[in-house]
Chains A and B, each alone.
Chain A
Amino acid sequence: MKKFMFVNRKAPYGTIYALESLEVVLITATFDQDVSLAFVDDGVYELMKGQDTQGIGIKNHSKTYRALDGYDVEKLYVERESLEARGLSEDDLLVDVEVLSSAEMADLMAEQDVVLSF
């Protein structure tokens, strides 16, 4: 089993990256790999509570993050510095995550076999 990390650095909806990342995460999970998701920079916005996309005609994919544990994807890591720069805390997020410092995130990234960046 290899350690896969998906690094999410883009806000949802403005680009297709967030949705594409989610799709590849689900595919990877079906192959029984060790999957982690990291949210840094604008990627932390993907996990915001209260997303209502009715007005922009795009599917609200934020609910999919809540379904990840059904695919045994339970390692969600958020960089504290990225949250703080945006005035956000864990209470603003729609799933349980582990908040890491930049140094801790760096260590976690360094121990991966495969890193996929979105």
Chain B
Amino acid sequence: MLHIVNKSPAQTTSLHSCLRLAKDGHALLLIEDGVYAATAAVAASSGLAEAAQRLKVYVLQPDVAARGLAGKIMPGVTAVDYSGFVDLTVQHSASQSWL
């Protein structure tokens, strides 16, 4: 399963719900305002630092760059471009968007 989160953890509970219900080994792609959760300074409070131990975590690089977050993403998170986003949706049997 590929989980996709596009909201900041400070604005909605989307990420918290996703992390509560995603199973070990699933993939999580953070896009749009979801990328804030992966900044090193926020990863602990957003729950992402802990989740990265059991999920494969990706961020959409164009959304990282747009928000001035280049160089601020926590280690262990993989950046992908738009074609990488497409690859992820193909590699997983299903995608779940947490709006």
Residues of A within 8 A of B (CB): 10-15, 41-42, 45, 48-56, 58, 60, 62, 85-88, 92
Contact = CB atoms under 8 A, between A and B. Distances in A.
Given A13-B33, A85-B45, A87-B42, A56 B62 contact: yes
Interface residues of B, number: 24
A42 B42 contact: no
| Interface residue SS majority, chain B | loop
B68 A50 contact: yes
A45 B61 contact: no
Contact of B67 (A11, A15, A85, A87): A11
Contact of B69 (A42, A48, A54): A48
Given A41-B10, A50-B70, A53-B66, A14 B33 contact: yes
28 contacts: A11-B8, A11-B33, A13-B32, A13-B33, A13-B67, A14-B6, A14-B7, A14-B32, A15-B33, A42-B10, A42-B11, A45-B36, A45-B67, A45-B68, A48-B69, A50-B68, A51-B65, A52-B65, A54-B65, A55-B61, A55-B63, A55-B65, A60-B66, A62-B68, A85-B45, A87-B42, A87-B72, A88-B41
Contacts of B63: 13, 55-56
A45 B33 CA distance: 10
